[in-house]
A and B are shown apart, each in its own frame.
Chain A
């Protein structure tokens, strides 16, 4: 159930607009039951991760920024800062060379061309 919650939450963030349970189900394109989506949305809302507003007969949901997300944001800023100092040590993180990038784009084109 935790995994479905993540998928639904990710979908709402990606959508960038409020979605009803039907909208979420359509976007995810899975064989999810309508009631399952509704239950997950209600649970995420109870946890304070979503906001909602009545839209016709259903609720439309959109993500709210939680305390923990603010904490994650602060941590991210901290990671950004520590990077400069430890860049010399962090050479094990390889960067994408121009040649790599070209090769990857070629592979991506080949994968996209497949049916």
Chain B
């Protein structure tokens, strides 16, 4: 039972972390969605596997078993779990839960609503900087220094780029990845690729808005060179993540539309992975649990 529980989790973990970066010719919106799904599936699967082991182990401890009797339906069909595996599982579960709670708290705290009648908020600061602040409605925060640095056409690129972050809710993808990475630190690789994918997505939207790929590339380079002295910080900014790769992609032809054969292939791969990860969830346990709680 233990290998059956752990192997799919390991498989999902390996696939999730070494999965090739989304293909260059694909629209980055596909890559971003796929990566967020991978991160969520792997984290959920791993968490469920560890939780099942931990609860199974704890319920075999005599003093605890009566407190945990409500969930014997979850565990009684399986062999008892040896201490060598059970105890670490309990510790890992505690660590994961702690990390999850901390990450959730961080995400909540960083949400400071800005009340403004305008879409654009300018901070009177000479250092060039720009980022999107999600909300209802979201806002684009730009420093006066950044606006002075760019020409009017480049400012349109900047605004279109940040608008894309807000319109597609890119912060939600990043929040999913941040929570998943809190549970499974190995998913940091997926998070990095996801950050690049959402920036590429916003770049492509900006290129479509101004109908000039080279103008977008030029704007990103200028913003990146100007902001390179700023402290790196995890926000959705124009010239911050994966700049060389993004410029290269913009100087290539536009990526293919959403529903070509390559995107179907990626979709199938991701669906397969999600199923593998989902199998770790051992859905029948959830049904048994729900039936038990509902008194069926």
Q: Which residues of A contact B (CB under 8 A)?
A: 2-3, 5-7, 9-11, 13-14, 16, 27-29, 44, 47-49, 63, 65-69, 71-73, 75-76, 78-80, 82-84, 86-87, 90-96, 100-101, 103-105, 107-108, 111-112, 114
**Contact across chains for B159 and A93 when beta carbons are under 8 A apart:** no
B118 touches A5 (CB 8 A): yes
A16 and chain B: residue at smallest CB distance: B148
Which of these, B133, B155, B191, contacts A7 with CB under 8 Å?
B155
Main SS of chain A's interface residues?
A: helix
Assess the A80–B114 pair: CB atoms within 8 A: no
| A64 CB → nearest B CB, Å | 10
The answer to whether A75 and B133 touch (CB under 8 A), given A68-B115, A69-B124, is yes
What 14 new A-B contacts, CB under 8 Å, besides A10-B159, A44-B118?
Answer: A5-B118, A47-B118, A69-B124, A71-B115, A72-B121, A72-B123, A75-B133, A80-B233, A86-B234, A93-B240, A96-B225, A105-B225, A107-B221, A107-B247
Interface size on B, residues (CB 8 A): 54
Q: How far is the CB of B172 from chain A (nearest CB, A)?
A: 17
Instruction: Among B125, B191, B243, point to the contact of A100 (Cβ < 8 A).
Output: B243
Given A14-B155, A101-B225, A104-B244: A9 in contact with B192 (beta carbons within 8 A):
no
Contacts of B242 in A (CB 8 A): 94
B225 touches A6 (CB 8 A): no
Most buried by A among B117, B192, B214: B117
B125 CB contacts on chain A under 8 angstroms: 73, 76
Q: Could you tell me if A7 and B156 are in contact, using CB atoms closer than 8 angstroms?
A: yes
Q: Is B101 an interface residue (CB 8 A)?
A: no
Contacts of B141 in A (CB 8 A): 72, 75-76
Smallest Cβ distance from A113 to chain B, in angstroms?
12
Are B118's CB and A92's CB within 8 A? Answer: no
Contacts known (A79-B235, A93-B232, A93-B240); A13 close to B147, Cβ less than 8 A: yes
